[in-house]
């Protein structure tokens, strides 16, 4: 009964928000169908199955809700993270739990679902600001809603839920500021980037993006105003970073890496073989297609790009038993192959991108590149199989989907059949993902 109440309330909220933002009926129906699939996935999996440290995040929230203060960073496995998500989750669980009409863990999963809806809204705003054709906008919406890792992340109890929303919001407002030069967009980008730093260290990527474009604007007219904005960005983000580190202070000695990135720098994992440049540049396509997980057949061929690309679909954790059947094995091969086709289409289209107006999309391209570089640096500094996970830079999914549909749309100007083929590939990815996760009674 509680799950049905969550579904009805969520659908009504989504319908109202999307109609207020003037998205058409097809996109509204797409988002609502995605919510139904996410709740279907929630119904047959547990918090610990979706992420092994799920119980630790629940414990962090319970410690705040029970004691009304932040715990020591070593009080639980997740307590090394900045506190914003956990404070929000503790408040949310207390409010929706009044009367005992909804279980505690379901309330937290509902919060994740609502935060994921916010992520989808900003992805749709990004697409609408850059895509002209309604069909392309609809395809991009379907891709981001039904992307395999979207389904998995939508109901995970983890600070990534809030961090991803704040990061994509900062990307959107930074792009709007870069295009329209409106102060309100700058301050919205600055506020969301600062809040992202107080949620997770992944927020440093969008903070760096905002500072980069603030520095670039120093060469433009209105230098005095641009200088003020640049100084404000540096000061506010530095203060947010210092606050995120300060509230996680502990009585135990900690390195600078541990203070900035928390327990991720504890050094609990060492690769089977030493990192070499080949580990970060090679890609084993046959193994990527064959395997649904990221575990290597041979440690000597344990490539970063394989783990990164596969985690963009199914994460780095082995999927739960409910998704380990023969059907999922076949669909996993199909989904992995379709991702390679989408990447190949983007690479093939590079010669056709002459004359593209990069002003509308350069923030998204730069933000995605900076996120990837930050993830790569994080993996090199703190070797860990979980530090190759795409979920740390999940907002990069929106620029990828945007780039794919924009490229397919542009190729259609030269050869109409290329556009139809590109749309077919995208729709096949959507259909395969739905078939992979849906579970009928």
Least confident segment among 10-14, 187-191, 415-419? 415-419
pLDDT, mean of residues 233-245: 93
State residue 142 phi and psi, 5-degree precision. -65, -40
Q: Where are the domains of the chain?
A: 2-437
Structure tokens at 346: 């983007």
pLDDT tens-digit profile of 153-192?
A: 999 999 999 999 999 999 999 999 999 999 999 999 999 9
Long-range contacts of 330-337 (CB under 8 A, 24+ apart): 331/432, 331/435, 331/436, 332/292, 332/436, 333/289, 333/290, 333/292, 334/428, 334/432, 335/148, 335/429, 335/432, 335/433, 335/436, 336/288, 336/289, 336/292, 336/310, 337/289
Would you place residue 279 in the very low, low, confident or very high pLDDT band (cuts 50, 70, 90)? confident
pLDDT at position 251 is 52
pTM of the model: 0.94
CB atoms within 10 A of CB 68: 8
CA-to-CA distance for 247 and 245, rounded, in angstroms? Answer: 6
Residue 356's pLDDT band (cuts 50, 70, 90): low
Q: Are 201 and 260 in contact (CB under 8 A)?
A: yes
Structural element, H or E, at residue 162: helix 160-180
């Amino acid at each position: 009964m509680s799950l049905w109440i969550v579904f009805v309330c969520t659908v009504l909220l989504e319908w109202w928000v999307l109609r207020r933002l003037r998205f058409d009926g097809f996109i509204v129906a797409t988002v609502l169908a995605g919510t139904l699939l996410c709740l279907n996935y929630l119904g047959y999996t547990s918090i610990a199955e979706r992420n092994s440290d799920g119980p630790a995040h629940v414990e962090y929230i319970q410690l705040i809700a029970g004691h009304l203060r932040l715990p020591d960073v070593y009080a639980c496995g997740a307590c090394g993270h900045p506190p914003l998500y956990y404070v929000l989750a503790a408040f949310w669980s207390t409010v929706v739990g009044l009367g005992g009409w909804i279980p505690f863990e379901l309330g937290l999963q509902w919060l994740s679902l609502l935060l994921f809806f916010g992520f989808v809204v900003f992805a749709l705003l990004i697409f609408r600001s850059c895509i002209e054709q309604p069909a392309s906008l609809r395809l991009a919406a379907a891709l981001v809603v039904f992307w395999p890792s979207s389904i998995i992340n939508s109901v995970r109890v983890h600070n990534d839920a809030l961090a991803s929303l704040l990061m994509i919001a900062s990307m959107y407002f930074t792009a709007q500021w870069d295009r329209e030069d409106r102060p309100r967009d700058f301050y919205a980008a600055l506020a969301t980037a600062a809040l992202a730093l107080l949620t997770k260290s992944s927020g440093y990527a969008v903070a760096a993006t905002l500072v980069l474009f603030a520095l670039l604007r120093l060469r433009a007219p209105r230098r005095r105003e641009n200088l003020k904005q640049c100084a404000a960005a540096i000061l506010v983000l530095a203060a947010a970073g210092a606050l995120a580190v300060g509230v996680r202070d502990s009585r135990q000695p900690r390195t600078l890496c541990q203070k900035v990135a928390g327990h991720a720098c504890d050094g609990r994992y060492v690769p089977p073989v030493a990192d070499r440049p080949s580990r970060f540049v090679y890609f084993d396509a046959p193994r990527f297609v064959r395997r649904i997980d990221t575990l290597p057949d041979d440690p000597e061929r344990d490539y970063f790009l394989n783990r990164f690309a596969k985690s963009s679909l199914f994460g780095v954790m082995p999927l739960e038993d409910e998704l380990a059947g023969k059907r999922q094995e076949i669909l996993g091969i199909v989904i992995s192959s379709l991702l390679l086709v989408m990447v190949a289409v983007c690479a093939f289209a590079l010669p056709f991108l002459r004359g593209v107006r990069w002003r509308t999309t350069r923030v998204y391209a730069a933000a995605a590149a900076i996120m990837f570089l930050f993830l790569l640096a994080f993996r090199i500094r703190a070797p860990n199989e979980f530090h190759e996970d795409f979920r740390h830079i999940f907002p990069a999914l929106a620029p990828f989907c945007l780039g794919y549909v924009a490229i397919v749309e542009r190729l259609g100007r030269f050869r109409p059949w290329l556009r139809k083929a590109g749309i077919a590939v995208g729709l096949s990815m959507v259909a395969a993902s739905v078939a992979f996760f849906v579970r009928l009674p």
